[in-house]
Every structure is written in C-alpha cells, then in structure tokens.
Amino acid sequence: MQQTKYIVIAGGVTSSLGKGIVAASLGKLLQARGLKVTVIKLDPYINVDPGTLNPYEHGEVYVTRDGAETDLDLGYYERFLNITTGKDNNATTGKVYQNVILKERRGDYLGKTVQVIPHITDEIKRRIRVFEDKGYDIVLVEIGGTVGDIESLPFIEAVRQMILELGRENVVTVLLTLIPYLHAAGELKTKPTQHSVKFLMQSGVQPDVLVCRTEKPLSDDIKRKIALATNVPLDAVIESIDVNSIYEVPLKLAEQNFDSVVLKRLGLESISRRKPQMDAWKAFLERYNHPQDEVNIALVGKYVELHDAYKSIREALVHGGVANKLKVNILWVNSEKLNTDNIHEKLSAAHGILIAPGFGSRGIEGKILALKYARENKVPLLGICFGMQMAVIEFARNVLGLKKANSTEIDPETPYPVIDLLPEQLEKELMGGTMRLGAFDIDLKPGTLIRKAFGTERISERHRHRYFFNESYGEMFQKAGMKISATDAVSGLTEAIELENHPWFVAVQFHPEYQSTVDYPHPLFKAFVREAYQRKKTKNGSKK
C-alpha cells in the first residue's frame, strides 16, 4: 500500500485568517483530481473538547455522526468535501494530555518519567497518523492557534519529528500568514510574514508553501521579496485575496496553482498534471452569485453578535437558498432584546423565522414571543433543538392555557413540565451519558410537512441535547392542533412537531444544519427557504 501523504496547515501573524477554509479548499481541489482525502483539526486549548465553551469564546460546537463535540472547522470540512468526520478528526491539548495521563496511571510507560518529548509528541503523532491504514491518499492536518504561541509548540514539534521519520516527500507544511495593508502608508507589509516564518523555523520546521492572506493583490516584486526572506520557492508563495464568499476560495487558490505546487512537493507530479473536476462547484457558485430573487430569514438567538455561533445554520441557509435559486438575507435578531414593544419592528420584514438552538434560560422569553408571532401571523418557521422545546412551551402557554408551562431545565418547579428529563433508566439506555449526542434514526409520519420535505420514511440526524418533549402531554397537544410528525425509531420519543392550520411550521429536536453540504443541501432548509419565498410572493401580491 502506498504511503499516506500529509499536508500540515499552520497559521501565522494572527488567528482567524481562515485556516479551516484553506484546508477545506485544498482538500476539495485534491478530491477534484481523484484523490481520497480527510482532514484532522488539532486545537491547542486545554479543554478536552469545545462542548463546554461559550459560543462567544469559540463559535459553534460541531457534532459528528459518532457523537463527538468538535471544533467548527470540521463543519467546513464536511460542507466542502462531502465527507463524514468523527472523533478521530479532532484532538485538543486537553485530550492529548488526558490520554497520556491515563496511560501513565495504568503503568503503560513502565515507570518512565513522562515528558512532553517523547510522550506528548508521540501521542500527537499517533492521532495524526490514525487514518494511515484507512485507504486515504492524503491527510490534511490543521493546527489551530498561531505559530509562536506556547500552546502550539508540542504540535509543531510533533510535525518536525514526522518530517524526520517519514521524509519531506511525505509531509508538506503550509503556513497561512497575513500581508497587512497600511492605509496611511498605502503599502502592503511583508515583515509580519517574515517573522512568522522565523518563529516556525526556530522550531525546526521550514514551510514548503506560504499562503498569504491579503486585501490587495500581491505584485511579483512582493512575492519575490517574501520568497527570498523566507527560503520558500517563488512558485510556492500563494496569494489568497479577500473574496465575497468562502465558496470562491477553492477556485481562487486553484488559479494560483496551490494544489499543483503541493502535489509536486509530495512527489505526485503525475497527479498534479490532472485537471481538477470542479464543474459542480462552479455551477453552485454561479447560482450563488446570480440568484433569481432574494428572501429574508430572521434568525432568532442569543449569540447573534458572533455569527460563527450559528455557522452551520448560516451555511445551511445559503445551501437552501442556492437550491431555490435565491439569495438568503439573514436578519440577526437578539432574543434577549426582543419584546412586545419591538417585535413587529424586528420581525415584520422576515419572510421566514428560524428559532436557533442554545442551552439555558437567557433569551428564552424572546424566542417564545417570536414563536407566538410566527404562529399567529402564519409566518413559515423552523425551530431547531432548543427551538423545538420553546415551540412546545409557547403552545402550552398560549393555546393550551398552561400559563406556567416550562422546561425543567429552566424552572425545575414548573407545574407543567412539558419539556423534561427522561426517566433515569430510559436516559441510560438512550443517551449513555449526560447528553444525547450523534446520529439516531428517526421515523417520519405520513402526510406531514417533514415527510414531504425528505421524501422518505426514515432519516438519520444528529443530536445534541439532554431534555425531551414530555410524552405524557402528547395527546393534549395533538388534540389542540400540534402534531407529532417524527419519532425516534427505537424509543418512539418525539423528534419533530408541526402545527395544523399553518402554511409551514416545523420544529425538530435534531440539528439538520450539521448535514447540509454544497453538494447536498439539507431537505428541511430547502423546504423552509422555499416556503419563506412563497410567503414573500403572497405578501407582495396582497400589496398590489
């Protein structure tokens, strides 16, 4: 079997340059040449996983099919590459140290003094090489943080060792840096990039390729200056100019021959001469850039100031829009600030309303107001996870007359716990821990909106929750017009609800956004955007 090749992508100068997008874009170009690719994200923070991080700290938590809570960059990988990632595709410093300490406690190291080198770096290398016998041609490895950070040093050291052990023809390093433009001077400055490369070289790693983020085109003179100062060949200094959409990045990098340069460094010259088959991607981008119309979707949540907190939802709306030849304008509505005085102002321009997920009591009354508005004004609505639970509470309070109805997560003493924990034994059987994580099979009931959207009887969707619809209230809800339209295939627990006498009101316990990709937009988002557009046409027609 041919040796698996590795491409390591690190970042310099500053964080948030887009390493995840560059890694996913390169992976897409390699796939388009016929290579089998996967991606690993290494995060330097000491948290074991991002599951407990505030979304304002780190953006959304992405959940894989096998139930791992991971970095949001795995969402980029899946959306771009149309692959399924899992627990082996993400590792943190905390996870690395946790595993080494567990081995030490078991006596696996036979009394040796456990140190960063070799024990921590060996564990990092083991995690990087976990896919070695799985049939992949190339594994892309994205290292979070910034070169020079103390947290990143063990990961960079592990890469240095891999280059020594496997040979430079099997491990290529890419450094993503920033070329800032100083408006006062009217100049692009290369010094930050030069310093980043020096930081990396001081750790024993010479970058093979530089990808330079810039808001202005790089002249040939600037590229030559960078190449000479960093010991990187001129053809391996790649410009990555700011673009309007992340979906343009693979094509822009291809114009710079990024994938060809990397493949040549890996000794894959014959593959580098193949033409990437990007026709489907170009067709998607053409529809994205030239929509036939537009539609407004209000996204109601408590983390809307940081859009990355809802990254997968945002991109799933893009996919749903493109599938309908529409541009989706997201109206970001802070549920904490939504009240009876401003709700019409905030939501009247929306053709559809999406109630976002999120744990805890903060902002729930605003979400409940938005749900009431959507229900009474017949606005198409999609509720996700916590959004479904809020839809149940709103209906219980305002239709069933159970004024103090709530979730026991919010009010443990509520007299009407319409959302509650499972009985202890059932919780053990269905969850296996404190959260229900990962993909589970779901049965869709005939004659429902969700069944129509999917066009199938059974689906598999990802979850991230602990509280459930209280089934003892099921008959009461259904008699009043809230249908249970989907159930867990094993337990029969409620997975989706819909409203009768409403054009399109669907709320689901699962997270459909995690499975929407460029190639396969999620059926629920396609249906939701389509119905929102119907609402727009109806409203416009009534005004004439």
Domain C-terminal end among 283, 311, 334: 283
Given the residues 119, 142, 319, 385, select the one marked as catalytic. 385
Distances (CA, A) of 341 to 302, 346, 350, 370: 18, 10, 17, 12
| Residue 328 shares a structural domain with residue 464 | yes
pLDDT tens for each residue of 114-156: 999 999 999 999 999 999 989 999 999 999 989 988 999 999 9
Tell me which of 390 and 432 has the higher pLDDT: 390
Query: Is residue 314 located within the same domain as residue 451?
Result: yes
Q: What is the pTM of this model?
A: 0.93
| pLDDT score of 269 | 83
The residue among 407, 69, 68 whose CA lies nearest residue 58 is 69
CATH of the domain at 37: 3.40.50.300
- Active-site residue identified among 409, 511, 522, 531: 511
User: HSE on the CB side for 104, CA within 13 Å?
Assistant: 14
- Give percent above pLDDT 90 in the chain: 85
Please name the residues in contact with 5: beta carbons below 8 A apart, sequence gap of 6 or more: 137, 138, 139, 170, 171, 172, 266, 268
| 411 shares a domain with 469 | yes
> Residue 52: which residues within 8 A CB-CB, separation 6 or more?
none
pLDDT at position 544: 47
Do residues 300 and 443 both lie within one domain?
A: yes
Measuring CA to CA, which residue among 470, 388, 475, 463 is closest to residue 423?
470
Whose structure tokens read 């280059």? Answer: 163
Q: What is the pLDDT of residues 26-68, one digit of tens each?
A: 999 999 999 999 999 999 999 888 888 878 777 899 999 999 9
Question: Do 233 and 304 share a structural domain?
Answer: no
Q: What is the pLDDT of residues 367-387, one digit of tens each?
A: 999 999 999 999 999 999 999
What CATH number is associated with residue 491?
A: 3.40.50.880
Instruction: Taking residues 244-271, report their average pLDDT.
Output: 93
Q: Any bridge partners for residue 463, and if so which?
A: 438
Buried residues in 422-447 as b, exposed as e (16+ CB within 10 A)? beeeebeebbeeeebbbbbebebeee
Question: DSSP labels for 463-513?
Answer: EEES-EE-GGGHHHHHHTTEEEEEEETTT--EEEEEETTSSSEEEESS-GG
| The pLDDT value given to residue 432 | 61
The answer on 230 and 162 residing in a single domain is yes
CA atoms within 13 A on the CB side of 411: 13
What is the reported pLDDT for 542?
A: 58
Residue 459 pLDDT greater than 60, yes or no: yes
Give the pair of three-digit tokens for residue 507: 């709320």
Could you give the 3-state DSSP secondary structure of residue 68?
coil
Check whether residue 262 and residue 378 sit in a common domain.
Answer: no
Q: Do 256 and 366 belong to one domain?
A: no
Mean pLDDT of the chain: 93
User: Is the pLDDT higher at 462 or at 544?
Assistant: 462
Concerning whether 212 is annotated as a catalytic residue, the answer is: no
Q: Which residue is catalytic, options 142, 239, 315, 513?
A: 513
Does the structure show a pLDDT above 60 at 1? Answer: no
| Residues 93 and 182 occupy one common structural domain | yes
Choose among 511, 488, 506: nearest CA to 422: 488
| C-alpha–C-alpha distance, residues 60 and 71, integer Å | 8
In a 3-state reduction of DSSP, which class is residue 347?
helix
* Domain boundary residue, one of 262, 283, 304: 283
Whether the pLDDT of residue 423 is over 80: the answer is: no
User: Does residue 339 surpass a pLDDT of 80?
Assistant: yes
Check residue 352 and report its DSSP letter. E
Q: How many CB atoms lie within 10 A of CB 513?
A: 30
pLDDT for residue 475 is more than 60: yes
Cα(518)–Cα(79) distance, rounded to whole angstroms?
6
Same domain, 104 and 245: yes
pLDDT single digits (tens) 343-375: 999 999 999 999 999 888 888 999 999 999 999
Domain boundary among 261, 283, 305: 283
Q: Kindly state whether residues 357 and 475 are assigned to the same domain.
A: yes
- CB contact burial 468-496 (16+ within 10 A = b; e otherwise): bbbeebeeebeeeebbbbbbbbeeebbbb
Whether 385 is a known active-site residue: answer: yes
pLDDT interval class at 461 (50, 70, 90): very high
Q: pLDDT digit string (tens) for 497-513?
A: 999 999 999 999 999 99
Task: Compute the average pLDDT of residues 91-100.
Answer: 96
Residue 417 in tokens: 């716990």
Number of domains into which the chain is organized: 2
What's the DSSP call for residue 219?
P
- Indicate whether 195 and 113 sit together in one domain: yes
Q: Identify the domain containing residue 19 by its residue range.
A: 5-283
Decide: helix, strand or coil at residue 118. Answer: helix
Q: For position 541, what pLDDT does the model report?
A: 66
Contact between 516 and 320 under an 8 Å Cβ cutoff? The reply is yes
Nearest C-alpha neighbor of 386 from the set 484, 486, 440, 465: 465
At residue 543 the predicted structure's pLDDT band, cuts being 50, 70 and 90, is low
CA distances from 303 to 52, 100, 384 (A): 15, 35, 15
Look at residues 380, 429, 431, 385 and name the one whose alpha carbon lies nearest to residue 409. 385
Per-residue pLDDT tens digits for 176-200 = 999 999 988 889 999 999 999 999 9
